[in-house]
A and B are shown apart, each in its own frame.
Chain A
Amino acid sequence: MADEQRGVSEPAKPALWRRPAVRSLFFQLLLIAGIGFFGYTIFQNTLHNMQQRGISTGFGFLNSEAGFGILMTLIPFDETYTYGRTFLVGLLNTLLVASLGIIFATIIGFIMGVSRLSRNWIISRLATVYIEVFRNIPLLLQIMFWYFAVLRPLPGPRQSMIFNDTLFLNNRGLYMPSPIYEQGFWLVVVALLVAIVAAVLVARWAHKRQEATGQPFHTVYAAIGLVLGLPLLTFLMMGSPLSWDMPVLQRFNMGGGMVVIPELAALLVALSIYTGTFIAEAVRSGILAVSHGQTEAAHALGLRPGPTLRLVIIPQALRVIIPQLTSQYLNLTKNSSLATAIGYPDLVAVFAGTTLNQTGQAVEVIAMTMAVYLAISLSISLFMNWYNKRIQLVER
């Protein structure tokens, strides 16, 4: 290749169709066009044949009235809303359980991963048992177990366990007062935003000062003080513009207030505990990957074990942990679709379940559902890759 190029390069350029770059571009375009045509034909054929067989096609159904109810909705919904709305309701429920699950699984995973390496025999054994047990039981079984384990012992609504006259726990869920925002509450929100911005500024200033003078600053305390204090002060000055809608017992169920349904609780517990085991292992392997010399060097510099872990080990371990964490987050999100087994109304249960069945438009509904999971997965990957780049070691 190189010889040829050298031989022919100078005098006459080869004809357009002989240039490797042009050729490969041509064939690639041809391939893409071929695949595109293939996909298009399949799509058209499918639609045509489905129409011939009397199966409705198209996305028009998204605008028709759904006519069924959904257990838990984060946005207003009843049977008079459309099938399109059921998609949104399901999507939000999926996002809710996935994001809460990711947070809890990460917390559990980090604690357990570090505990497994603990020098305390009992703690490390407990962590090992946790990991080995929950990692090896199929998730679906765990979900079912928690669901019925949560449901069975709880009393009916009329015998609710009552805490402090505000929290009610029964087999329909955990009921709590829901806030009603009154006039002037927006100022509290503004105060919170201002406090967050201020906290970021303080953190930057403290960082710069430490770089310059080596003097540390209690950024965390200052930030907490700001973020809690400022809104609280505003709240009191505005004369507490907030009241509570209390749950009350009605004939069958509790009315009013907010509720955490047992389906959500069981699913969250199962997902977090299950995924937590994998994250714990990722954390452990990440920490073990950091050479012991680093710890010794940090100790030699006089750093205590806490700061050593926080400032020396974890930042380096994260480089190993993050990629594994990403795939666990993806798994958790996809596993959340097992919700349908216990009646938590996630996207798969509501949209790819009831809506699919009531409209019969399997191809469209499954295509939309798969697109959503793809989009969620890609977003998580992109974010984690960005974060991973950001925390890579920066040489100074």
Chain B
Amino acid sequence: MKKIHVIASAVALTAVMSSNAFAGATLDGVKKKGFVQCGVSTGLPGFSSADEKGNWSGLDVDVCRAVAAAVFGDAGKVKYTPLTAKERFTALQSGEIDMLSRNTTWTLTRDSSLGLNFAGVNYYDGQGFMVTKTLGVKSALELDGASFCIQAGTTTELNLADYFRANDMSYTPVTFDSSDETVKAFDAGRCDALTSDQSQLYALRIKLGNPDGAVVLPEVISKEPLGPVTAQGDDEWYKIVRWSLFAMLNAEELGINSGNVDELMSSADPNIRRLLGKEGIKGSGLGLPDSWATDIIKQVGNYAEAFERNVGMGSALKIARGQNALWNKGGLQYAPPIR
């Protein structure tokens, strides 16, 4: 069925592109529909996964919800499209989804030749390896000749090839469509290691039959800045997505969270007043209500809240902030000021 999806998207792409119906009006379209159509993964705990009732949650999902909160004042107005790695860009190009928030690495090729715009980075990551403990491997450099379970259409495929070429080692790639099959095959012993962005390894390890039987190796072999993406050609929409993420980061920096936002509405701090829409340009520059950022903070929370709830200490993944701490706390997360 995956195949059908790709073909359908390609046909839709031809149809959309041949008629040039695209006129920079994603926001109007979204308002008319009444929801944001958001592309997410098919199931990656912590980033985007659905529970038994079909409710999505995760760090990537929170970006979709933030955008919906900014546009509608209601974070619930999102519909999700689960996409495998190889389906995701065509789905965005053909207009099937309004935005993509699916652990997607920002690279030059993708930014410059796929007709996409990366709106920011909501998680700084890097590629790592997971092996079974019984293998007794301590470093990725010992993996000469090993087989690797990977997912098709990812930067993972390319980094793996680069790493082994650079270190003059040989490897066998076993490439699957979805993360589910990748994990199952690794579990069944089809490959010696599973490789992917390190955060995803922790997420996927939960899905193993015996999670404690696997270890993540220390090496990080690439830079994987993951972030939300929009289709090129609609700057207005692109900026809405971009600043929705920035609002969450600025809120953390200013100490505003879902718990204290109501109190802080009467704050005298001009930085806080500008973010909460009391002063300055407010929502007008983005074509949004003045309460756009307040709604995000109230309903989704600031970046720290989203992080801890989904992938941090409040979650099963227990990932430390590390590179994803704010810039003034030793990390890389840095948002331009609201003024």
Contacts and interface: CB of A to CB of B under 8 A. Distances in A.
A151 B188 contact: yes
Contacts of B268: none
Nearest to A364: B10
Interface string A17-46: 000000000000000000000000011011
A53 B115 CA distance: 5
Interface string A183-206: 000000000000000000000000
Interface stretch (A120-128, A235-243, A250-258, A324-332): A250-258
A151 B189 contact: yes
A252 B192 contact: yes
A53 B189 CA distance: 44
Given A54-B113, A70-B173, A71-B174, 13 more contacts: A42-B14, A43-B18, A46-B17, A50-B17, A54-B112, A56-B113, A68-B160, A171-B190, A252-B135, A252-B145, A358-B157, A360-B115, A362-B13
Question: For chain A, what secondary structure do more than half of its interface residues adopt (helix, strand, loop), or is it mixed?
Answer: helix
A272 B135 CA distance: 36
B188 A53 contact: no
B185 A343 contact: yes
Contacts of B152: 340, 349, 353-354, 357
Lowest 8 A-B CB distances belong to which pairs? A357-B153, A55-B115, A360-B114, A79-B161, A366-B10, A56-B113, A357-B86, A252-B146
A54 B233 contact: yes
Interface in B109-136: 109-110, 112-116, 135
A164 B168 CA distance: 34
A67 B158 contact: yes
Contact of B93 (A337, A349, A362): A362
Contact of A54 (B6, B10, B185, B232): B232
Interface of B: 1-3, 6-7, 9-11, 13-14, 17-20, 22, 85-86, 89-90, 93, 109-110, 112-116, 135, 143-147, 152-154, 157-158, 160-162, 165, 171-177, 181, 184-185, 188-190, 192, 231-233
Contacts of B2: 340-341
Contacts of A46: 14, 17-18
Nearest to A70: B173
A53 B231 contact: yes
B145 A253 contact: yes
Nearest to A140: B1
Contact of A52 (B3, B116, B162, B233): B233
Nearest to A255: B145
B188 A152 contact: yes
